[in-house]
Structure 1
Amino acid sequence: MFKIASVDSLTINFGNEISKEIASDVQKAYLSLKSLNIEGIIEIIPSYTTIYISYDVFKYDYSSLCKLLDNSIDLNYEDNSIKNIINIDVYYGKEVGLDLEDMSVKKNLSIKEIIQIHTQKEYDVYAIGFAPGFGFLASVDERIALPRLSSPRKSVPKGSVAIADKQTAVYPQSSPGGWNIIGRTAMELFDKSLKELSPLSVGSKVKFNSISKEEFLAQGGIL
């Protein structure tokens, strides 16, 4: 379960598969540890199947910290904070949905059907990374799931809504990327002035809503 990551960090592994059950265990363990504010733990970062922890080596050695964590993790932890569904308005136009037409051909679906499928469900935030505010959301309907591009783009525009395998996400900033781009949002998902930096956090739920080009531009969207 525990594994050394570096001289001052370790990982806790909850399984080898990406699943709702394992993600739930990761989330409960993460929230239970975070709620304790354990002195000497510097950072706790959850992902799909693991939790990364960095710590003060002058306070703990690896063995003593593992024992402490093992006694502290609560997989029955209940998060009583109220989390609203985060609604993200998306313009699914061809000029911003760079891979919509290709997806339409590969999946034998109309663009309208792709949009309907992508917007019909709520997604869970399973992990945050690789960039601040970049939330990995799952699970995408198999009908519109596509692998990453064979040749990543050097620059993906800020706000791009994308799919890779059974995950979907929004690029909070312009950056290189290999996901399939299907739309764009004007919503800010990373803001240094905010205490939490991003409205997305592990355990949040996200709903995408299709809007018109005019609505997108009125919200401050850029084509």
Structure 2
Amino acid sequence: MNPTISPVGDSAISIEFGQVIDPKINQRIRQTVAGIESLHLEGIVEMVPTYCALLIQYDALRYTYAELCRILEPICTQPIQSDESELVTVVEIPTVYGGEFGPDLGFVASHNHLTEADVVSIHSGTDYLVYMMGFIPGFTYLGGMDPRIATPRLSSPRTHIPAGSVGIAGEQTGTYPSDSPGGWQIIGRTPLSMYDASREEAALLKAGDYVRYVPIDESAFHCIKKLGSSFKPVVHHVKVGDLRGGK
């Protein structure tokens, strides 16, 4: 299906590529972002990818809506360039599962008729695509979680979820970048700072990256926590065809 371009206010454009969460649609969005960036257009203020669309904020004194549509249409209608040898970025997120760090791990296991070890093995066995950022700064919406560990949200959200908490809600998983209320089932916690406004790149991850949760013990958690920003997460550059689990 061809994308739909529509105005958002007087200085933004939305390009909608579909109505479902699908890695092919997300790939098309990322391809469009790369194509626009390659033009080095002055007056493009920000590009915000979502699950199925791309929001582009622009300088209305430089472009009219019609002018920008004429520039963007050839880029966003290009077919997907799919290549199993394409290199993507996979960021390891060290995570302690269960105990005080993951109080809902037992419920996720019992809900799905699994052991806690099964849940950890399944959850950490997939490379998750970062579809988009949102909710709070640095929060990642990830795709590809195994439905065997899907679990409903809490019936009553908690008023405080510690930063770094790794949760499950339905068939989604993700990491809370800061202390926050929330209704996800918390199965673990990472010592990494997922969002730090003092860094040049405040968010550790960006749309199009992949996340690989790596189980660690409490001792390793505290060691990494003490290192703070001096600890650099392991980053892999992996061919799309070699990604683990749901792509």
In structure 2, what is the Cα distance between the partners aligned to 1:29 and 1:66?
A: 13
Q: 1:72 to 1:25 in 2, by over 3 A?
A: closer
After TM superposition, the structure 1 = structure 2 runs for residues 57-206 of structure 1, keeping only pairs within 5 Å, are 57-73=60-76, 74-76=78-80, 83-206=88-211
CA shift for structure 1 position 72? 3.5
User: Which shifted more, 160-169 or 17-26?
Assistant: 160-169
Q: Secondary structure at the match of 1:85?
A: strand
* CA contact 1:156–1:171 (8 Å) conserved in 2: yes
In structure 2, what is the Cα distance between the partners aligned to 1:50 and 1:197?
A: 23
In structure 2, what is the Cα distance between the partners aligned to 1:43 and 1:183?
A: 33
In structure 2, what is the Cα distance between the partners aligned to 1:39 and 1:158?
A: 37
- Structure-1 residue corresponding to 2:48: 45
CA shift for structure 1 position 40? 1.4
- Structure-1 residue corresponding to 2:22: 19
Render the CA deviation track for 1:30-49: whole Å, top value 9, x for unaligned: 22212323111111010110
CA shift for structure 1 position 147? 3.1
* CA contact 1:28–1:75 (8 Å) conserved in 2: no
RMSD over aligned CA atoms reads 2.2
In structure 1, what is the Cα distance between the partners aligned to 2:137 and 2:189?
A: 18
CA shift for structure 1 position 185? 0.4
1:33 corresponds, among 33, 36, 60, to 36
- TM normalised by structure 1 equals 0.90
Q: Secondary structure at the match of 1:6?
A: coil
* CA contact 2:94–2:191 (8 Å) conserved in 1: yes
Q: 1:31 to 1:179 in 2, by over 3 A?
A: farther
CA shift for structure 1 position 14? 0.4
- TM normalised by structure 2 equals 0.82
Q: Secondary structure at the match of 2:142?
A: strand
CA shift for structure 1 position 70? 0.7
In structure 1, what is the Cα distance between the partners aligned to 2:119 and 2:183?
A: 19
- Structure-2 residue corresponding to 1:207: 212
Which amino acid is the alignment partner of residue 70 of structure 1?
E
CA shift for structure 1 position 177? 1.8
Number of matched residues? 221
Which amino acid is the alignment partner of residue 147 of structure 2?
E
Structure 1 gap ranges (5+)? none
Identity %: 36
* CA contact 1:93–1:213 (8 Å) conserved in 2: no
Render the CA deviation track for 1:147-184: whole Å, top value 9, x for unaligned: 33332222211000112222211111111222221100
Q: Secondary structure at the match of 2:121?
A: helix
CA shift for structure 1 position 196? 2.1
Q: 1:15 to 1:84 in 2, by over 3 A?
A: closer
Render the CA deviation track for 1:81-136: whole Å, top value 9, x for unaligned: 96542111100022121221221221111111100100112111111112222111
